[in-house]
Structure 1
Amino acid sequence: MPARPVFLAVLAMLLLTACGSSDPGPGRTTPVPGGSATTPVEDLTVTTSPRGRAVTVEGTVDDGVEAGCLVLTTAQETFTLVGDTRELAKLEPGTTVTVRGQVRADLMTTCQQGTALWVEEVTRS
């Protein structure tokens, strides 16, 4: 039976190696830190920063499909709203707002809708 411990050790090393892959997989992207390029696109202003993609977007706040989740729907995209609780408290479903924040593709949420948008400031439109 000396082969069994060796087999288990090799199996454990293979599993750990598979978990450490840096390839995000098909259809996924890895955020790349950038400089300060700003591109206005209708209701969207985009700036790249090391924390994420800084945006200022205008849209309608809605309840998410999961309890406790809020989403912002713009003409181009849907965002799950996360972040500063004082700013999030200003959001009410059905209102139109302008949100300044960071798009955080690296954050996972349970909301199952859109990309996470870390809210830094909310202004009613």
Structure 2
Amino acid sequence: MTTQTSRIRRFAGLTGPLIGAFMLAALTACGAGGGGSDDETSTPSISAEPTSAPESTEESPVPEESTPYLDPSLGDTTKPGSMTISGTVEEGVESGCLVLEHEGTVYGIFGDFDASVVYAGATVTLQGNVDDGMMSTCQQGTPFVVEDAQTLD
């Protein structure tokens, strides 16, 4: 038997009873927790009767009709942050990317726009939204998603 194996067996032989005693004490403590009773043989009582939720006196905001209730505040179709930018479209640092500088801010141009209107060298007015969470390979400018594009030429 090697010295390493001998050391491991000696360690296991010394700690084995300690671990066993600890586990027994932990299980005994868990099993004796009968709700604060000093009697170690008591077991917690379990009720088979279902409990009911307390009755509410508040009125439900949803009318009790056969037609579905729609909250009017959820139907807002206007997009917050819609804005218009103008300027000359330039090629971005990455191939296929377009940018436009408007009032000192560089915008990366994205979206479903007419390529005959928005191209490098075109002077345009773009309407759309800034999308700060957009991921792109262009790596340049604040992402601007075009909704409408018009030429200024």
Name the structure 1 match of 2:87: 59
CA distance in 1 between counterparts of 2:117 and 2:151 reads 9
Name the structure 2 match of 1:68: 96
Identity of aligned residues (%): 40
Change (3 A) 1:83 1:116: same
From the CA coordinates, give the structure whose radius of gyration is larger.
2
Which secondary structure state, in structure 2, belongs to the residue aligned with residue 87 of structure 1? coil
- Give me the TM-score of the superposition, normalised by structure 2: 0.45
Structure number with the higher helix fraction is 2
Root-mean-square deviation (CA, aligned residues, Å) is 1.8
**Correspondence 1:90 to 2:90:** no
Deviations 1:20-59 (CA, angstroms, capped at 9, x unpaired):
xxxxxxxxxxxxxxxxxxxxxxxxxxx971xxx2110111
Does the Cα contact within 8 Å between 2:117 and 2:124 map onto a contact in 1? no
Q: Higher relative CO (CA 8 A, sep ≥ 6), structure 1 or 2?
A: 1
Report how many aligned residue pairs link the two structures.
75
- Structure 1 consecutive aligned stretches of length 4 or more whose deviation exceeds 4 Å: none
Return the offset for 1:76. Answer: 2.3
CA distance in 1 between counterparts of 2:126 and 2:120 reads 14
Return the offset for 1:60. Answer: 1.0
Question: Any gaps of 5 or more consecutive residues in structure 2?
Answer: 1-77
Deviations 1:57-83 (CA, angstroms, capped at 9, x unpaired):
111100000001011111321111111
